[in-house]
A and B are shown apart, each in its own frame.
Chain A
Amino acid sequence: MEKLSAKIFRYDPTTDDSHRYETFEVPCEKGMRVLDVLMYIQENFDTSLAFRYSCRRARCGSCAVVVNGKPEPACLGEAKKNMVIEPLPNLPIIRDLVVRTDEYEERIQDINPYLVRTKQPELKPEKLLSSDFTQVMPLNECIECFSCVSACPVNGIKWKGFLGPTTLVQLSRRLLDPRDDRDRIQDALRTGFENCVSCYMCVNTCPVEIGILDGAIENIKKNYIEKRQQDDYSKYNNAWKNIVIKNGIVNPFILMRRILKINTLLKNIVTGIKFFLKGRISLSSKRIPNIEEIRKIEKVIGEKR
């Protein structure tokens, strides 16, 4: 029988100074999943290999690991001829492939991830239209496997300031639910959503293919800008939009001058001078020749609203 090679991350923080890799040769069967490989190794080679699983059908989200650099639920990922299997990054390791997710689960609780209703529905049973839930339904598919958290570069660098994509998916579910009465913008304030870099790593990683950025995080951003016009984040986004309408082209210096506070400007003054000396800062606004067209388009959209 053909064999595959699985190089597996091993580490026990209670006894080991650092991690190591162990390679196992496993008989390869058609349709074999990564989880099957791990179970084979545990049953036949090393009973001490630690990994987590439960449902075995990509619903519980507990078995996610990194296979050849990409996070995925082990029960979903097809076994490959040569695999390096590692624990999810950005999360503390308990042992081998098992990571600690409780801290992150608590962070989800921070945003009250349940339906909050202060008013009773007028009709019973309540009349619900599927069209009101078009945006919510895909978000309900999240299995909280934390693959997106482990792929997120901001989670990797600023863990505490950004609650991460999974939390934002849960917040967006409630924000977009027409039945929910809670002020979700207050919850959004605690998530650090503005630190999302729009890199699409979470989208690329999501095993159930939720459009995490366009379908969840950008809804939070849009709602936030509408409701908190005076906040720095909203001012920045509105300044961008207004410059596009005014000039058709965004001169970063003009944008920064409008939004940056004096202390931030002072902190960046050395970089600013270097940019200026290299001719990278233009003090005057450039404008596209037929800017009237952009203004007309904006006016027509405004009238339609």
Chain B
Amino acid sequence: MKFAYYPGCSPQTTTRELDFSTRKIAKALEIELEDMNGAACCGSVELRSNDPDLFYAINGRTLAIAESKGLDLLTICNTCQLTLSQANKSLKNDDKLRDNINRILSEVNLRYSGGVDVKHLLWVLLENVGPEKIKKEIKTPLTGLKVAPFYGCHILRPKEILRFDDPDDPRSLEDFIQMCGAEPVDYSGKIKCCGFHILPYNPELAVKLTGKYLKEAGDAGAQCMVTPCPLCFTMLDGYQSQAGKQLGYQFNLPVFHLPQLLGLAMGMGKDELMLKRNMIAVDEILHKIGRI
């Protein structure tokens, strides 16, 4: 099983532990990741509204690179998943748009004919690798650990683009947590917004949103959280103390990236998953599951 690997900007800068741990679990599960050196930022929601032409051209270029390798694209960020999927859907279905973008891409000797699918790591684990194979690799199940799933927005909505899960009642992250041997905790905030996209110009509001869902997860009995998105991770982990101050609340809720939690269940160590980089210390969780 082989994919063109698109880590996106955050895992190459602020959340390098996500890229690192993804490579670790991929190797163990025989998912071959071919690097796309030269693939650019997806532009996020910012470029999409600011300059749609550039948005389609840059993402068309990324899709064309994957197509030239004959591979589907694997993402590890919700927003990359959404923006690349949106561009992909439009380029596949709108012949005029595709022709226009291909005229631009011909200047850099590329062409996209619509033959690539864009898949998030969570979907690949559940659908392509499959629970049976993963369960065989679970050496140290996280028995008794109560984990709050935090989906984030751009892996669920809009449903016309992201068809993997029910956006109102998703199951994939809960299934993933159970596959790791842990117990998913239910709370309404699991499908809500972490606030990341307004952080640069309204940090107070962004942190308020983060705090609201951290509190909900804690009140529901979670001992830690897991998220498939590095942007949600940055808010939940990196801004947890600010959110606590704002709410007058002392949070201590370790947050894991998807492959970090799976890696732990597969028996990998702290260094192999770069757990020291997490802002909220995970030692208490490691102690709970008998790993230290």
Q: Which residues of A are interface residues toward B (Cβ below 8 A)? A: 69-70, 153-154, 157-158, 161, 194-201, 203-204, 211, 213, 218, 221-222, 225, 232-233, 236-238, 240-241, 244-245, 248-253, 255-256, 259-260, 264, 267-268, 271, 274-275, 278-282, 286, 288-290, 293-294, 296-298, 300-301, 304-305
Contacts and interface: CB of A to CB of B under 8 A. Distances in A.
Contacts of A197: 153, 193, 195-198, 206, 209
Nearest to B37: A289
B40 A249 contact: yes
Q: Which secondary structure dominates where chain B touches chain A?
A: helix
Interface string B39-58: 11101111111111110011
Nearest to A279: B277
Contact of B12 (A157, A213, A249, A279): A249
B50 to A, nearest CB: 5
A195 B46 CA distance: 13
B120 to A, nearest CB: 16
A297 B13 contact: no
A78 to B, nearest CB: 14
B108 interface: yes
B39 A288 contact: yes
Given A222-B52, A237-B49, A249-B9, 17 more contacts: A157-B212, A194-B201, A197-B206, A197-B209, A211-B158, A240-B47, A241-B54, A271-B241, A280-B15, A288-B39, A289-B38, A294-B61, A297-B105, A297-B108, A298-B54, A301-B54, A301-B57
26 contacts: A153-B193, A153-B209, A157-B205, A161-B205, A194-B198, A197-B153, A197-B193, A200-B153, A200-B158, A240-B44, A240-B46, A244-B41, A244-B47, A248-B38, A248-B40, A249-B12, A271-B241, A278-B277, A281-B14, A288-B40, A290-B38, A293-B108, A296-B108, A298-B54, A300-B107, A301-B104
Nearest to B274: A279
A271 B242 contact: yes
A31 B39 CA distance: 51
A271 B238 contact: yes
Interface in B141-161: 153-154, 157-159
A297 B157 contact: no
A253 B279 CA distance: 17
B247 to A, nearest CB: 12
B167 interface: yes
B250 interface: no
B172 interface: no
A27 to B, nearest CB: 27
A197 B202 CA distance: 10
Given A157-B212, A275-B14, A198 B45 contact: yes
Contacts of A296: 107-108
B192 interface: yes
B38 A153 contact: no
A57 B159 CA distance: 25
Interface string B1-15: 000000001101111
Contacts of A255: 200
Contacts of A153: 192-193, 209
B203 A264 contact: yes
B208 interface: yes
A129 to B, nearest CB: 19
Between A211, A253, A281, A297, the greatest number of chain B beta carbons within 10 A of the residue's beta carbon is seen for: A297
Contacts of B14: 252, 275, 280-281
A223 B206 CA distance: 24
A135 B157 CA distance: 21
B239 interface: yes
A278 B279 contact: yes
Contacts of B38: 248, 288-290, 293
A271 B246 CA distance: 14
Enumerate the 6 nearest inter-chain pairs by beta-carbon distance, A residue then B residue, closest first: A200-B157, A199-B193, A248-B40, A218-B49, A199-B153, A221-B49
